Each structure stands twice: as structure tokens, then as C-alpha cells.
Amino acid sequence: QVQLVESGGRSVQTGESLRLSCKLSGSISSTYMMGWFRQVSGEEREAVAGMYTGTVFLYYGDSVKGRFTISQDVANNTLYLQMNSLKPEDSAMYYCAADVSRGGRWYEPQDFEYWGQGTQVTVSS
């Protein structure tokens, strides 16, 4: 059983930066892919960034390209999301997700089996 715990969300001003963390209970090396999603109440969950464990390929949603960076610290079993130049439209609950089965799509929420509880990011103008 994989457990994910996010942290780092808080209220910031436009243009500021935040780094979200996602601590994995097990080994990151056991995952096939990990990602960050966000959701605003009443809207669909949106793929923010994803990566396939053990590869150098990183993927981003169009709205965050050039501003957000996903990374892994394998030694500490932690996934990060560095968010720069934050905008009010980035305000959402951010979720970390992981899956251990091969063949999943980083942008598809239904392909992820494990989810964290979420951390709230609020960006004020």
C-alpha cells in the first residue's frame, strides 16, 4: 500500500514562488509514474506535471509550462513541484499521485491508483 502526503501549499501573492512536496511511504523506485494534479471545486481535475520514474522525461500541462518544474528525490522518496511566477488562476487544491502499473498516462487521473490528501494553494492578485 502506497501512501502519499503533500505539503507546502499556502497563500501567496501573484508572482511569488512555492515548492510543494509529496512524501511517499514506500520507495519511489517502485512506482511507474508520479504526477501532480490540481482541482478547483466544481471543476475537473487538471494534470499539472508528470514523470515516469527512472526516466529523464518530464511532462507539463500547457498552462504551467515554463513556470513549474517537477522533480524527484529518490533517496528521500519525495516528489516536488516547484512553482514560479504564480498567477491567481493557479489557485487550487494540488494533489500528488502515483501508480505502480506500467502503461499509464501521466495526464490521466484515472490511470493513477494512489493519491494524497491534497494541499491548498491560493494566489492573490
Q: What is the pLDDT of residues 54-63, one digit of tens each?
A: 888 999 999 9
Once rounded to an integer, what is the mean pLDDT over residues 84-101?
97
Model pLDDT, residue 50: 98
Model pLDDT, residue 54: 87
Instruction: Report the C-alpha gap between 93 and 39 in whole angstroms.
Output: 5
- Sign of the torsion formed by the C-alpha atoms of 13, 18, 23 and 29: positive
Instruction: Report the C-alpha gap between 79 and 76 in whole angstroms.
Output: 9
The model's confidence at residue 26, banded by pLDDT at 50, 70 and 90, is: confident
Q: What mean pLDDT value characterizes the chain?
A: 96
